[in-house]
Amino acid sequence: MTLTRAQVAALLGRIDRRPSRALGQNFVVDPNTVRRIARLAGVGPGDRVVEIGAGLGSLTLALAETGASVTAVEIDRHLVPLLRETVEPVGVRVVEGDAMTLDWPALLGDERWVLVANLPYNVATPLVADILDQVPAIERMLVMVQKEVGERLAAGVGDDAYGAVSVKVAYWATATIAGVVPPTVFLPKPNVDSALVAITRRAEPATDAPPDRLFELVRAGFGQRRKMLRRSLAGLVDAEVFACAGVAPESRAEELDVVAWGRLAACSS
């Protein structure tokens, strides 16, 4: 069982609430869509799944149907009682909290986890980046985000969407667009399509260059992405470093993959 549009509307009506713009709430109200997401996540019995922004529990119920052990995190205190009422009877653990400030080690323990979530548009990019940086217990993610955001997360060299966050993801993981979701399956209906992004953490980072130095250079390079690197990285990288790294100083940030950025970082450390 998952929640239909009428059931979601009825639950919100019980507490006289509307979806919160401030919290980026767009509830999925199509059972086929949430079951598709659960299927694409590839989870089942024996898997531990953490869901961020569980809302009223539509996707949560679809994940529970797979037989996985599900922990649902929700920040909206008004929704938490309804979420508990909906999903705790099928064995889901509900946690009230803000994913941006969660004590992840306390929540996840020493187990390996999969994150599956319909992420609010306003926190999707920083949340994915923080989880990759700080939460190694999460080995895989399937996140639904604004299509434009999804394209940036999964972009590679040569893609129009390729940018600093693309390099961040590529350093830690591989990422692909697993599907597109239309606005019509949401309540309220957003103005854009959404994308499902599958992210799998690498066993080791893509390069062994110092990460702080690497991302300092990436931020500087993409901060002035129209300029050649010899200009955007002036004061950070000199001619000898470009030569050591095998990177042309006339290149632009969008022409370097994560390994090339790693060489620049290693040669300038």
Q: What is the pLDDT of residues 162-174, one digit of tens each?
A: 999 999 999 999 9
Q: Answer yes or no: do 41 and 169 share one domain.
A: yes
With beta carbons less than 8 A apart as the criterion, state whether 212 and 229 touch: no
Per-residue pLDDT tens digits for 17-51: 777 777 777 899 999 999 999 999 999 999 999 99
Strand partners, 117: 143
Report the SS3 class of residue 244: helix
For the chain, how many helices (H) and strands (E)?
12, 9
Q: Answer yes or no: do 182 and 258 share one domain.
A: no
179 located within any domain: yes
167 located within any domain: yes
Closest CA to 129 of 156, 179, 166, 163: 166
Cα–Cα distance list, 10 to 14, 17, 58, 78 (Å): 6, 10, 13, 15
pLDDT at 113 (0 to 100): 98
Q: Answer yes or no: do 229 and 128 share one domain.
A: no
Per-residue pLDDT tens digits for 211-249: 999 999 999 999 998 999 999 999 999 999 999 999 999
Domain boundary among 181, 201, 221: 201
257 located within any domain: yes
- How far is the C-alpha of 242 from the C-alpha of 171, rounded, in Å? 20
Q: Is the pLDDT of residue 12 over 90?
A: no
Cis peptide preceding 188, ω within 30 of 0: yes
Q: Answer yes or no: do 130 and 235 share one domain.
A: no
pTM of the entire predicted model: 0.94
229 located within any domain: yes
- CATH code (residue 154): 3.40.50.150
Write out the DSSP string of 47-109. -EEEEES-TTSHHHHHHHHTT-EEEEEE--TTTHHHHHHHHGGGT-EEEES-TTT--HHHHHT
> How buried is residue 157: exposed, middle or buried, by Cβ count under 10 Å (0-12/13-18/19+)?
middle
- How far is the C-alpha of 63 from the C-alpha of 127, rounded, in Å? 21
Q: Answer yes or no: do 13 and 83 share one domain.
A: yes
Q: Answer yes or no: do 66 and 107 share one domain.
A: yes
Residue 121 has what DSSP assignment? T
Domain boundary among 177, 201, 225: 201
Report the SS3 class of residue 11: helix
164 located within any domain: yes
Domain boundary among 146, 171, 201: 201
Which of 2-6, 83-87, 154-158 is the least confident region? 2-6
Instruction: Determine the structural domain holding residue 46 and report its residue range.
Output: 5-201
Q: Answer yes or no: do 166 and 66 share one domain.
A: yes
Closest CA to 73 of 50, 49, 101, 103: 50
Number of domains composing the chain: 2
51 located within any domain: yes
Q: Answer yes or no: do 231 and 155 share one domain.
A: no
122 located within any domain: yes
- CATH code (residue 239): 1.10.8.100
Q: Answer yes or no: do 26 and 126 share one domain.
A: yes
- How far is the C-alpha of 150 from the C-alpha of 143, rounded, in Å? 9
Q: Answer yes or no: do 96 and 180 share one domain.
A: yes
Write down the residue that tokens 């009230």 correspond to: 96
Q: Answer yes or no: do 159 and 34 share one domain.
A: yes
Q: Is the pLDDT of residue 148 over 90?
A: yes
- CA 137 from chain centre, in angstroms, equals 15
206 located within any domain: no
Q: Answer yes or no: do 119 and 150 share one domain.
A: yes
β-pairing, 93-96 with 113-118? unpaired
